[in-house]
Amino acid sequence: MKNTLTQRLESLDILRGFDLFMLVGLEVAMHQLSTAVNTPAFHSFMWCFTHVDWEGFSSWDLVMPLFMFMSGITIPFALSRYKDAKDKTLIYRRIFKRVVLLWIFGMMCQGNLLGLNPDCIYFYSNTLQAIAMGYFISALLYLHTSIRTQIVLFVLMLLGYWGAMEFITIQGYGGGDYTPDANLAEWIEREVLGRFRDGASVVDGQVVFPDWYRYTWILSSPNFGATVMSGLFAGYILKDKKWIPTKKLAYLVIIGISMVAIGWIWGIWHPVIKKIWTSSMVLVSSGYCFLFMALFYYIVDYKGWRKYLLWLKVYGMNSILAYMLAMCVNFSCIGRSLFHGLEQYLGAFYPILITLSNVGIVYFILWCLYKKQIFLRV
């Protein structure tokens, strides 16, 4: 639907666009370039575009938390007028609608919903669903509690996850075991989702879970809420009209550095593991998100150096549509039709051209919608 570009936090749109471009535009092309170049130095550089196998944190592990963090920033801007309303029926419907749509979109992107095969549908497996869960928790807390209560609940969520992982033992899982095959979150995932877990299949009447998939979502859900809430806290800072920009920057930087430090220190005992969304990982990733937000706020909103970054708004202001197009629609057939004659000359570099053509088509669609100020809102 149509919307106007009034009183938006421009740095947030550009940061969202940057995050999305990295995910749907640059990552695939960089991996293909690495394959084509095939040198040890380039392979080492690709650490920047690769998830950590289990424990630890890479720059690429920040992509998903940053999306969730930014969804939290929007809450004070979008919901403040409903906070004191006696009848919140309208906003409840809006929140519920957003959660349901994000959940369905997530199943379309990664849950095999478009495959129309009931035996291959996965229920809870995508970034959009993590955003939906985190947003649901954070939005309700924002509407019904004070910021002090929210901070207390944020801490309790982190401690609750840590306590469950440390002190609950079931059928050999848990009890402080953070290995891929024996942590409590893994057990809950298998027991609750069963065949509907991503990658699971039924063989001879038995549910089989692949070794390559170790992401967990159910026990991680409160920590999804904590990640979005960290963005909510940043939103409070950025929305406050009484604070001068330098004060906002100082708070963003100080909070960011503090969270990163506390997260890594806690990680000595409670490992930083993105795949099961540990509490230490929430602090580390949220701290980096605060710092990224500070950087983009400084560049775009404070210094006004936006001339060469405005193209990212095309992604940022239609982020859901951009993500859906990239994940669900393959335009590479157009590139192959136009450039198939170049394959004989480009060799191993030909897939990069096809990927870039696909990225270009998606961007062109988003640009046309941007020029007409048409944005998909959920």
User: Per-residue pLDDT tens for 53-90?
Assistant: 999 999 999 999 999 999 999 999 999 999 988 899 99
Q: Which pTM value belongs to this model?
A: 0.94
Estimate to the nearest angstrom the gap between the alpha carbon of 46 and the chain centroid.
20
pLDDT average, residue stretch 295-324: 93
pLDDT, residue 229, reads 98
Q: Residue 292 and residue 256: Cα distance in Å, rounded?
A: 9
Q: Is a pLDDT exceeding 60 seen at residue 171?
A: yes
pLDDT average, residue stretch 232-255: 96
* Structure confidence at residue 272 as a pLDDT band (50, 70, 90): very high
Please give the mean pLDDT across all residues of the chain.
93
pLDDT average, residue stretch 14-20: 96
Q: Residue 49 and residue 290: Cα distance in Å, rounded?
A: 21
pLDDT, residue 7, reads 54
* Structure confidence at residue 117 as a pLDDT band (50, 70, 90): confident
pLDDT, residue 376, reads 86
Nearest to 231 by CA among 142, 156, 311, 303: 142
Type of residue at 112: N
| Nearest-10 Cα torsion for 32, 38, 40, 46 | 0
Q: Which range scores top for mean pLDDT: 17-26, 130-139, 302-311, 337-346?
A: 130-139
